[in-house]
């Protein structure tokens, strides 16, 4: 049972079946409605209908049944493939696409698209995550490397583990960051209050380091580049929120209203560098900001 306390004022007055997918991006609205009908979602320990309107400080309890291994279907979903060879491919994932099937997202994921695109994908992470070496959040866009066989998968995964795979992001954050560059070195662990979120935890947290530099300052916003030294879940979002500069559009880690964009965090994985598993040569890829992100920057200019 996962418990969430509603502290974000943006959620107040919204229907519960709309709010929960904003709190937990892995749950679709249709799946949430099914959970409510099955009495698996309670508000303040009470059974509610999907039309229930959220109040500040409501306690939302969600009991998600165990995920079963399913036959994942190939789907003819367009992929923006940046690079491909016999060992791997690099894909520019759009915002809003889940990387692999999970509760309420059995279709329309990157894995569904990959199965239609490739005949061979590594099987190390099981049938639910073929080829997936690393992930980015549903509402984060950008580069992901996918492995076509187990040997390449292990080689790429070792680079993640020893931090020799380099991932860089653009983020538009709230407020003016005064320093031109900085290092955020704060340990991250699963939140004790909300198991779907991460939090700074000096006792139980794992070492987490994010480097950043300012690209441009606007009126009450700052465009930055971030480079991950470690790759904890939600690391950039948690770190930037903790220092008082949450990513614009982030409903989970920002308590203030998202005035520019409300469809997900403005975070884009624009650069990916790694050693190729077969040639052993360094490869580096970049992809530009998506149109909706670029339009917001142009409006700020």
Q: Which residues are catalytic?
A: 137
Closest listed residue to residue 268, CA positions, set 77, 175, 140: 140
Torsion sign across C-alpha atoms 272, 133, 234, 159: negative
Torsion sign across C-alpha atoms 41, 258, 95, 125: negative
Closest listed residue to residue 266, CA positions, set 242, 297, 227: 297
CB-based contact 21:103 (threshold 8 Å): no
CB-based contact 229:214 (threshold 8 Å): no
CB-based contact 209:285 (threshold 8 Å): no
Residues contacting 75, CB < 8 A, separation 6+: 107, 108, 112, 113, 115, 116
């Amino acid at each position: 049972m996962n418990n969430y306390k509603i502290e974000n004022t943006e959620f107040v007055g919204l229907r519960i079946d709309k709010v929960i997918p904003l709190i937990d991006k892995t749950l679709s609205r249709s799946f949430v409605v099914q959970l409510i009908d099955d009495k698996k979602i309670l508000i303040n320990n009470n059974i509610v209908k999907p039309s229930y309107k959220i109040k500040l400080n409501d306690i939302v309890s969600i009991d998600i049944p165990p995920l079963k291994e399913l036959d994942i279907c190939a789907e003819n979903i367009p992929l923006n493939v940046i690079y491909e060879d016999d060992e791997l491919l690099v894909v520019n994932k759009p915002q809003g696409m889940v990387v692999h099937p999970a509760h309420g997202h059995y279709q329309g994921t990157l894995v569904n698209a990959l199965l239609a695109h490739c005949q061979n994908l590594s099987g190390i992470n099981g049938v639910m995550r073929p080829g997936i070496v690393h992930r980015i959040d549903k509402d984060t866009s950008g580069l992901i490397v996918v492995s076509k066989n187990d040997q390449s998968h292990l080689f790429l995964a070792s680079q993640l583990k020893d931090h020799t795979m380099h991932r860089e992001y653009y983020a538009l954050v709230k407020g003016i960051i005064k320093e031109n560059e900085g290092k955020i070195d704060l340990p991250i662990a699963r939140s004790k209050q909300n198991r779907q979120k991460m939090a700074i935890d000096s006792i139980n947290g794992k070492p987490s380091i994010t480097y950043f530099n300012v690209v441009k300052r606007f009126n009450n916003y700052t465009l930055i580049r971030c480079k991950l030294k470690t790759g904890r879940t939600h690391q950039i979002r948690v770190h930037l929120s903790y220092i008082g500069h949450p990513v614009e559009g982030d409903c989970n880690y920002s308590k203030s209203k998202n005035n520019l964009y409300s469809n997900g965090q403005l975070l884009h994985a624009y650069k990916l560098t790694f050693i190729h598993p077969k040639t052993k040569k360094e490869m580096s890829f970049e992809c530009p900001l998506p149109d909706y992100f670029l339009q917001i920057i142009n409006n700020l200019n």
